[in-house]
Amino acid sequence: MPVPLLQPGVYIEEIPSGVRAITGVATSIALFIGWAPRGSVELAGRVSSFADYERTYGSIDQRSLLGYSVRQFFDNGGSDAYILRIADMDQASPTPAKTGACDIGDLHIPASSPGAWSKAYSVRLTQRSDDATRFRIDVIVPASNNAVVETFENLSMESSDARYAPAMINRRSAFLDKLTTGSTTTPGNDTQPLGGGDDGTVLGPADNTFLTALLAAFEVDASVDRIDLFNLLCIPGLVDVTTIAKLQTKCRARRAFMIIDSIDDETVANMPSDLNGLTGSDALNSAIYFPWVRAPDPLQQGALRDFPPCGFVAGIYARTDATRGVWKAPAGSEASVNGATGLALTMSDAENGQLNPLAINCLRTLPVYGTVVWGARTLDGNNQRGSEWKYVPVRRTALFLEESLYRATRWVVFEPNDEPLWAQIRLNVGAFMQGLFRQGAFQGSTPRLAYFVKCDSETTTQADINLGVVNILVGFAPLQPAEFVVIQIQQIAGDIPG
């Protein structure tokens, strides 16, 4: 707004440039879902390393594939993931998961999550010598000479106190949660173990209880809905076709991409029939990988074991995104599988040739390069479909653009819908697309051939304006991966003597 000119002098006005820099969203935040020995069963937690995962969800466990897959994700280049723990919380089931707890005076102290993990810890309460209404809570490990792993000082039992114990501990402690108090203001000095915790039934991806909880997590206001952004979905070992088809639909709605595992003991001959039910209209947001990966199991002294490929592949997606960009196919000689000693099935070129046209991405063990990902097709990439979303990098580039522009153009809402607004949109979206073009994200030697941004009276008519609608048309020429390299060799005929 102009400054009022009231007295003689010099006035300075800052004029908005209309530039709103658009930052591309992350492209390789993974969401892993499965059973873990500890951790919240209500909300997905974010981890940035396998050490983070171990602190929150426990280490790898032979009873579940989740921990192994998360570790394989980080070993192969992943750096950001959400973990959603599924446990049998139905108290009517024969062996439900239970949360450990203890009572010290009128203070009820439950563990932060269900599971037998809490049995390794005790809670020690120590009152202050100068004020019996104040106390300290230590979480200790009796088996390690009562080593203290967490401390909360100067607590009170009074709900009106600024150091009220439940308020200071609930949602803040890594070991305790949902504390409640009674009427006593001095709980007393004591040490009690967190007893009663139980893992319950260890749910696997083939259990109906697991499948029901998995789909429920994707409903409105459920665990997954609370995650702001994730790009890759991995459920290690999930092969139930009906559930996968439903998750494909969920992924399309969230602009995420699902990495699907083949069946562990699958054969090349049986693979094509297993695609039935997975190639519907939402198949473009998913890809399947075959076979499983053979790697050492640290819990069995390095004995070789077959693992689902999703964790390895998700890590390779992240590594490729970081080094080359989301528009580069996460496959080829650079897509080496770290930690693999081989594959559950070694395929020949002919067998690979049977599966690739059906949009089944194969993992191969090749001379010099070792174990690599040797396919980059979505489940919509069958040769007979002729889909524009045939290739993984093309689809993921589109998802990246959609999510980035969706988040970056929210400022447009309620702005005056006319040419000044359209010009700002063209400026900002165009600058974003130009930046990607310079990084080599699009096909074409000039910006005109690589992309376009259109927002004017042709895309937004007067009827649209009356309805409060502004239409932005963005087009791009995707980089198609060189899936087949053809070398033509011709023999030069020598001069024929006359």
* 311-353 tens-digit pLDDT: 999 999 999 999 999 999 999 999 999 999 999 999 999 999 9
Domain boundaries, the chain: 30-88+203-393, 101-193, 414-498
State the CB neighbour count (10 A cutoff) for residue 409: 16
Distance CA 331, CA 247 (A): 24
pLDDT at 422 over 90: yes
For tokens 């102290």, the residue is 109
Distance CA 366, CA 374 (A): 10
Q: How confident is the model at residue 495 (pLDDT cuts 50, 70, 90)?
A: low
Task: Dihedral sign for Cα 260, 262, 263, 265, please.
Answer: negative
Top CATH class, 30-88+203-393: alpha beta
Contact (CB, 8 A) for 105 and 188: yes
Higher pLDDT, 373 or 5: 373
Q: For 86-138, what is the HEC assignment?
A: CCCCCCCCCCCCECCEEEECCEEEEECCCCHHHHHCEEEEEECCCCCCCEEEE
Task: Sort strands 286-290 and 257-261 into parallel, antiparallel or unpaired.
Answer: parallel
Helices (H), 153-206: 165-169
Higher pLDDT, 273 or 450: 450
What does CATH list as the number for 101-193? 2.60.40.4290
Higher pLDDT, 93 or 244: 244
State the CB neighbour count (10 A cutoff) for residue 445: 7
Q: How confident is the model at residue 498 (pLDDT cuts 50, 70, 90)?
A: low
pLDDT tens-place string over residues 76-123: 999 999 999 999 988 888 899 999 999 999 999 999 999 999 999 999
pLDDT at 235 over 70: yes
Distance CA 253, CA 266 (A): 30
Tell me, what's the pLDDT at 237?
96
pLDDT tens-place string over residues 173-187: 999 999 999 887 888
Q: How confident is the model at residue 496 (pLDDT cuts 50, 70, 90)?
A: low
Query: 24 φ, ψ to 5°?
Result: -65, 145
pLDDT tens-place string over residues 126-156: 999 999 899 999 999 999 999 999 999 999 9
pLDDT tens-place string over residues 289-298: 999 999 999 9
Tell me, what's the pLDDT at 80?
98
27, β-bridge pairs: none
Tell me, what's the pLDDT at 189?
92
